[in-house]
């Protein structure tokens, strides 16, 4: 993204300062002019329940049209409906800014042979799991067909750069005798740890967990027991019992829980590398647990981006894309009615908003923040290379893997870098090669010209796959190749420092949650939380969490898929 020049920023800021000093508003009518208050307490707050005579429109800008931004727009639309049902005269107006011509963010697709008559291939966010309730409920409500091709099944192998450490049918290998002989009870112990953590995390979809309050005599306490909505990632991590996991590596956590080193180095690392391109001695334990929680994985047949298109469409938000949607600057503007934000785009246009939700990774957003002492904390991202191809080979060449040319090679190949780590300590030997994170045969297709049967293959790698490597893997059988590279997800290193979600007055950074976990699902969780913080501030805690809520034992065990008000507000939302 091209930044506004420094001179342009300074000119705009000087104009803003001059306007404040001279009591003139540079962005709207003169009657909105005000001087800058000395402290926050000097700023008059808008009425909580405006009468019809003081009805107003609150304008919210959402920057980013991926999972977080589009779902934020949708949650704001349900908030607007809730306001209307309560006979509030305040209305919400949303504008969604997205610099790409299409919505979906990192949920992006392409087609085999670059031919749209074929079913799409996911470039990035490929699947969502059973425990991803927001996506599952959205798919159900939006009537989208699942059943996307996520792999051909069959034998899976774990490759360490010089040998296959384990091969077997992935659908049954955790229960096979050979698996048990190699790894012992490591799988059982790990499954228990994952299930326990998922139990905590599932509270994010349960109304009693989110909204319950303790009572003091006849009165309810002001804050919820869970602390929802959370103003920092640390508060959210604490609520779902994840703080200690984020503070240590996946390897250290699992060793502390008596999981065998061999299982961690091979099976767990295969999961963390295919999901986050990070090893178990580097990724934090919560990221490792999320990598292992892929039960029931599926995807939308026409592309997962369709979920986010529907979020945006159904929200009723005004959608700006391209140069109009490419936000280059945000300027904090204090007024007598609270802080507003001027949002400027690459088109040279700009508008004033009552609040802004930043729903895009900050490090490559190209956005400059002005007239505020606060800063958005960026985090380093993994730069991932994706290679898609079609081949007439039913499996990769055995010779690359030290096997016979006609030997059967697994069609799903995951990787472990443990042999690479060990080789670094022995300079007398030539180390193994790990040139990719994963290689997956996705499905069969028919060649558009000769009608022959071919296979779609996806490769994730830390650098571009050269032609020579493709030749080593597939020979001259390749008929189509497409390459893509992007900053796919944050480096999930252990930490005890978490970013704030509320950056400044009426400025929220929903992507802050990516330092804890980065998935399509958790992007929607982050969006709902950011919207909840704003709604609580404007309309009070009861609007978000309800008032006088009563929950029975059955409410705690209710299947989140049965929650009709999952995207709404009040006692039964979650």
Residues 388 and 427 in one domain: yes
Among 490, 513, 538, give the residue marking a domain's end.
490
Please answer whether residues 239 and 226 qualify as being in contact, where contact means their C-beta atoms are separated by less than 8 angstroms.
yes
Report yes or no: 96 and 317 within 8 Å, Cβ to Cβ.
yes
> How many structural domains comprise the chain?
2
Query: Do 506 and 541 share a domain, yes or no?
Result: yes
- Does 17 share its domain with 163? no
Task: Give tens-digit pLDDT for 27-63.
Answer: 333 333 333 333 334 333 443 343 444 569 999 999 9
Q: 120 to each of 132, 195, 387, 441, how far by Cα in Å? A: 22, 32, 15, 14
Q: Average pLDDT in the 433-454 region?
A: 96
* Any domain includes 486: yes
CA 186 to chain centroid:
29
3-state secondary structure of 113: helix
- CA 287 to CA 125: how far, in whole Å? 16
Find the domain containing 478 and state its range.
151-173+384-490
Query: Considering the domain boundaries, does residue 123 fall inside one?
Result: no
Q: Are residues 376 and 503 in the same domain?
A: yes
The whole-number pLDDT of residue 530 equals 99
Residue 202 included in any domain: no
Q: Which pLDDT score, from 0 to 100, does residue 22 have?
A: 37
Whether residue 333 lies inside any domain: the answer is: yes
Task: State the Cα–Cα distance between residues 356 and 533, nearest whole angstrom.
Answer: 12
The predicted structure's pLDDT at residue 221:
76
Residues 377 and 389 in one domain: no
- pLDDT value at residue 109: 95
Given 466, 490, 514, the domain boundary residue is 490
In this prediction, residues 481-490 reach a mean pLDDT of 96
**Mean pLDDT taken over the chain:** 89
> In this predicted structure, which of 9-13, 103-107, 204-208, 210-214 has the lowest mean pLDDT?
9-13
Report the percent of the chain where pLDDT is more than 70.
89
Q: Is the same domain home to 12 and 97?
A: yes
Specify whether 546 is located in the same domain as 456.
no
More confident residue, 190 or 218: 190
CATH code of residue 77: 3.50.50.60
Domain boundary among 464, 490, 516: 490
CA distances from 490 to 33, 276, 416, 502, 555 (A): 42, 8, 20, 20, 35
Q: For residue 326, is it within any domain?
A: yes
User: Quick one: DSSP state of residue 463?
Assistant: S
Q: Smallest Cα–Cα separation from 459: which of 389, 394, 408?
A: 389
- Which range is least confidently modeled, 9-13, 224-228, 297-301, 341-345? 9-13
Question: Is the pLDDT at 7 greater than 70, yes or no?
Answer: no
Which CB contacts under 8 angstroms, 24+ apart, belong to 448-453? 448/113, 448/115, 452/392, 453/392
Average pLDDT over residues 347-371: 96
Q: How many Å apart are CA 173 and CA 333, to the nearest integer?
A: 59
Asked whether residue 363 is assigned to any structural domain, the reply reads yes
Residues 327 and 311 in one domain: yes
Residue 134 belongs to some domain of the structure: no
> Looking at the structure, do residues 388 and 415 belong to the same domain, yes or no?
yes
**Any domain includes 99:** yes
Residues whose CB falls within 8 Å of the CB of residue 457, separated by 6 or more in sequence, listed in order: 388, 389, 390, 391, 439, 440, 441, 442, 474
Asked if residue 506 and residue 448 are part of one domain, the reply reads no
Write down the pLDDT at residue 125.
77
pLDDT at 47: 39
Rounded to an integer, the average pLDDT of 421-428 is: 72
- Half-sphere exposure for 390 (CA within 13 Å, toward CB): 19
Mean pLDDT for the stretch of residues 281-297:
94
Based on its alpha-carbon atoms, the radius of gyration of the chain, rounded to whole angstroms, reads 26
Distance CA 523, CA 359 (A): 9
Position 395 pLDDT exceeds 60: yes
Q: Which residues 6+ apart lie within 8 Å of 257 measured at CB?
A: 189, 193
> Is 12's pLDDT higher than 90?
no
| 507, 545: one domain | yes
Q: What is the average per-residue pLDDT within 68-94?
A: 97
Domain shared by 513 and 371, yes or no: yes
Q: Give the CB-side neighbour count of residue 229, counting CA atoms within 13 A.
A: 30
Range from 18-32, 157-171, 384-398, 549-563 carrying the lowest mean pLDDT: 18-32
Residue 428: predicted pLDDT: 57
């Amino acid at each position: 993204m091209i930044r506004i020049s420094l001179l342009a920023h300074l000119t705009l800021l000087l104009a803003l300062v001059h306007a404040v000093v001279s009591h003139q508003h540079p962005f709207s009518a003169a009657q909105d002019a005000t001087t800058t208050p000395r402290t926050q307490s000097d700023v008059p707050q808008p009425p909580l329940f405006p009468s019809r005579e003081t009805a107003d429109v609150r304008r919210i800008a959402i920057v980013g049209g991926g999972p977080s931004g589009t779902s934020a727009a949708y949650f704001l639309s349900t908030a607007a409906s809730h306001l209307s049902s309560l006979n509030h005269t305040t209305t919400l107006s949303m504008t969604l800014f997205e610099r790409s011509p299409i919505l979906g963010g990192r949920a992006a697709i392409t087609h085999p042979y670059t031919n749209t008559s074929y079913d799409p291939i996911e470039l990035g966010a490929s699947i969502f799991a059973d425990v991803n309730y927001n996506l599952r409920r959205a798919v159900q409500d939006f009537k989208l067909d699942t059943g996307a091709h996520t792999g051909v099944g069959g034998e899976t192998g774990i490759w360490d750069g010089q040998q296959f450490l384990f091969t077997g049918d992935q659908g049954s290998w955790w229960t096979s005798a050979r698996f048990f002989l190699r790894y012992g009870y490591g799988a059982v112990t790990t499954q228990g740890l994952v299930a326990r953590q998922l139990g905590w995390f599932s509270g994010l979809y349960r109304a009693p967990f989110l909204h319950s309050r303790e009572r003091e005599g006849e009165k309810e306490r002001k804050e919820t027991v869970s602390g929802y909505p959370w103003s920092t990632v640390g508060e959210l991590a604490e609520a779902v019992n994840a703080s200690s996991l984020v503070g240590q590596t996946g390897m250290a956590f699992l060793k502390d829980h008596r999981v065998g080193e061999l299982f961690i180095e091979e099976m767990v690392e295969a999961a963390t590398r295919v999901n986050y391109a990070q090893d178990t001695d580097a990724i934090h334990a919560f990221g490792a647990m999320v990598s292992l929680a892929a039960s029931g994985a599926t995807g939308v047949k026409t592309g997962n981006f369709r979920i986010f298109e529907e979020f945006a469409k159904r929200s009723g938000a005004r959608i700006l894309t391209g140069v109009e949607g490419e936000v280059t600057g945000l300027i904090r503007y204090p007024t007598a009615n609270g802080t507003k934000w001027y949002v400027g785009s690459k088109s040279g246009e700009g508008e004033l908003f009552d609040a802004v939700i930043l729903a895009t990774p900050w490090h490559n957003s190209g956005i400059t923040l002005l007239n505020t002492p606060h800063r958005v904390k960026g985090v380093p991202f993994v730069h991932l290379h994706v290679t898609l191809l079609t081949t007439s080979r039913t499996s990769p060449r055995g010779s690359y893997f030290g096997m016979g040319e006609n030997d059967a090679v697994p069609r799903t190949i995951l990787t472990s870098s443990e042999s690479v780590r060990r080789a670094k300590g022995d300079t007398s030997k030539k180390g193994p090669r790990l040139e990719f994170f994963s290689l997956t045969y996705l499905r069969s297709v028919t060649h558009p010209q000769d009608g022959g049967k071919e296979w779609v293959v996806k490769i994730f790698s830390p650098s571009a796959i050269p032609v020579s490597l493709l030749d080593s893997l597939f020979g001259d059988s390749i008929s189509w190749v497409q390459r893509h590279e992007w900053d796919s997800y944050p480096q999930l290193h252990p930490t005890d420092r978490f970013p704030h979600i509320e950056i400044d007055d009426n400025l929220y950074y929903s992507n802050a949650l990516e330092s804890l976990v980065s998935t399509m699902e958790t992007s929607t969780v982050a969006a709902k939380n950011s919207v909840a913080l704003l709604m609580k501030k404007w309309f009070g805690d009861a609007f978000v969490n309800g008032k006088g809520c009563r929950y029975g034992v059955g409410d705690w065990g209710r299947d989140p898929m049965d929650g009709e008000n999952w995207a709404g507000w009040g006692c039964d939302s979650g």
